[in-house]
Structure 1
């Protein structure tokens, strides 16, 4: 117990984050699994009236009299994503999400992210950290948690739509959960991104001996055990989203969708199990946007919500990954069932993985120590 008013925190650059283990995917999958168990017992809080909102985003009008005001162009986001997570974490934090697909024309990533980790009791900062890798790995790890419980144990063939950052981390998480994977199919829009992705796979996962590029979603899905739909694109018209058709899928296929996607009517059969990563998140989204919501938020979990509202699907048909991780519902029950998982992305994931990386950094003496104040001027 101390009465000191001095507050220090650490700054972690992207290179510091790497030294502190932000790219340790097996550990990230474990952290996300632990997080889902805490969500199941409700030892967490996110924004919104139901404590499950994705965050607060600045909305820009299509037409504005102000010449410098941004337009709502593709993937334009300025967004705050705060959360508290209990259990062994016991921390709070907020990710600032800046994104614009036009960044690529400037040689920058589509998104530029920073995360502030705070002491839950006082609100004092613990760390201010580069969050592009933090966000990428925690997002990719959720399909890995899904695969741990919902994919066939002997899965060998992985399929990735979108050979970008999300495709890399999703594949890494699939391999962490299903270490027998030795075959990969990948579909992308450009030769350069495909070549970079394949070079990364060969260097990072030499156990993958068979790598094939394909040109259609059907080729991608046929014969695959675990499938990740990870491509970016413009929301608005679900008919333009990447498609999943039942006839393409082998018995036992597991599909994780952390990006825009659509599926045909045959996928709505009751024997195709349908999961979201946290039902409360989709409830919050569904209250926040106009309907049909899949036009605005292009995740398959939002299409599930539209279908429930339209009477095309029963609420009881929609399952929750938090309940499986928490032991309240069964995971995969046989090698025949086809399972879809919608991955929405939640602020609690940043808190979980940010806390892990922060504690590693403190233990290893990584980062730059900064002082907020010794004694605050205003008290």
Structure 2
């Protein structure tokens, strides 16, 4: 007996034409984070493939099953910081969605937008539960693709009066400032140093692209009531940062412990961050099992490394929209 199986290929332009809005992305991420808190997801921590390429970049491999969506998925995403020299994004990704009951592949899609949007949406969902509702000043280090999603989604949720940004390259940060001003009425201030970005900010996001550890986010700049999100691949925070935090929240503790990269890798390796010192996983808060912010003076840190369940949730959203619009290209699998 011969079976004929087709799958839907969705390119970047195919996905762009679906015009999936930021509110849809935030809702999908918040829903799957709550499902994670209820134990309704299955995933393994990411693994890394580091080619013998002179240290210019590596691949992250992520895989997950979300029971409520009836789909499993695998994402491969490259992390190549020097790609700007070639006119390419630093992160290019691809997702394969599969039927968890038969193993049949359902779709292959460009996941570059997914990677950017799910990161910004996770920052936004974390802020929804952990930042002060009256946060006025956002300080953001980093101007890569995920930075745009971080800032624009936070700008939707909070009554911001100022957005401060910087990055290592002057031309990059200036261009980023121009791009932000095109989409927001909130004043955007481009500055030269991380200290200028973070000093007195209510929401502090560190999304740098370091190749070696460097303390860009200094502990002394974190004021009472601040919400801090460090998620660069290489640490850009001081080791005593956690000493001033009232609560430390992660996306998933297993994910936090895995791999050789991550903003708080040194804190985990030295025992400064452990299962005992951790306050919660975000899913526990979103699903109502633990409170989030409980006072206006709490300093709260949220470390998210990028859960595969977020990729699967957004890929599923895209696939359903594409099926309804008959978008993409149907490919013969066998």
Q: TM-score scaled by structure 1? A: 0.81
1:82 aligns with 2:63: yes
Which residue of the other structure, out of 177, 184, 202, is the alignment partner of 2:163?
Answer: 184
Residue number in structure 1 paired with 2:261: 297
**Deviates further, 142-151 or 210-219:** 210-219
1:58 aligns with 2:35: no
SS in 1 for 2:298: coil
Partners of 1:59 and 1:211 in 2: how far apart?
37
Instruction: Name the CA shift for 1:216/1:105 in 2 (closer, same or farther; >3 Å).
Output: closer
Instruction: Name the CA shift for 1:352/1:215 in 2 (closer, same or farther; >3 Å).
Output: same
Residues 270 and 317, structure 1, Cα contact 8 Å, conserved in 2: no
SS in 1 for 2:125: helix
SS in 2 for 1:318: coil
SS in 1 for 2:276: helix
Instruction: Name the CA shift for 1:175/1:4 in 2 (closer, same or farther; >3 Å).
Output: farther
Q: C-alpha displacement at 1:149, in angstroms?
A: 0.1
Deviations along 1:152-177, one digit per CA (max 9) or x if unpaired, are: 11112111101221211111221233
Deviations along 1:182-208, one digit per CA (max 9) or x if unpaired, are: 311111122321222112211111x21
The unaligned stretches of length 5 or more in structure 1 are 48-52, 61-69, 289-295, 374-379
Q: C-alpha displacement at 1:314, in angstroms?
A: 6.0
**Deviates further, 92-101 or 341-350:** 92-101
Which residue of the other structure, out of 32, 36, 44, is the alignment partner of 2:33?
Answer: 36
Residue number in structure 1 paired with 2:193: 216
SS in 1 for 2:63: strand
Instruction: Name the CA shift for 1:153/1:16 in 2 (closer, same or farther; >3 Å).
Output: same
Residue number in structure 1 paired with 2:7: 9
Residues 46 and 60, structure 2, Cα contact 8 Å, conserved in 1: no
Q: C-alpha displacement at 1:365, in angstroms?
A: 2.1
> Over alpha carbons, which structure has the higher Rg?
1
Residues 223 and 250, structure 1, Cα contact 8 Å, conserved in 2: yes
Which residue of the other structure, out of 162, 177, 181, is the alignment partner of 1:198?
Answer: 177
Partners of 1:39 and 1:27 in 2: how far apart?
18
Deviations along 1:270-299, one digit per CA (max 9) or x if unpaired, are: 65321111112123x1xx5xxxxxxx4231
1:93 aligns with 2:56: no
Residue number in structure 2 paired with 1:255: 228
Partners of 2:163 and 2:84 in 1: how far apart?
27
**CA RMSD, 1 decimal:** 2.2
Residues 20 and 358, structure 1, Cα contact 8 Å, conserved in 2: no
Residue number in structure 2 paired with 1:282: 256
Instruction: Name the CA shift for 1:80/1:243 in 2 (closer, same or farther; >3 Å).
Output: same
**Deviates further, 259-268 or 130-139:** 259-268
Q: TM-score scaled by structure 2? A: 0.92
Residues 185 and 220, structure 1, Cα contact 8 Å, conserved in 2: yes
1:160 aligns with 2:140: yes
Partners of 1:297 and 1:93 in 2: how far apart?
23
SS in 2 for 1:357: helix
Partners of 1:332 and 1:159 in 2: how far apart?
20
Partners of 1:90 and 1:242 in 2: how far apart?
42
The unaligned stretches of length 5 or more in structure 2 are none
1:334 aligns with 2:295: yes
Aligned counterparts, 1:122-133, within 5 A: 122-133=102-113
Q: C-alpha displacement at 1:181, in angstroms?
A: 1.7
SS in 2 for 1:303: helix
Instruction: Name the CA shift for 1:304/1:325 in 2 (closer, same or farther; >3 Å).
Output: farther
Q: C-alpha displacement at 1:348, in angstroms?
A: 1.4
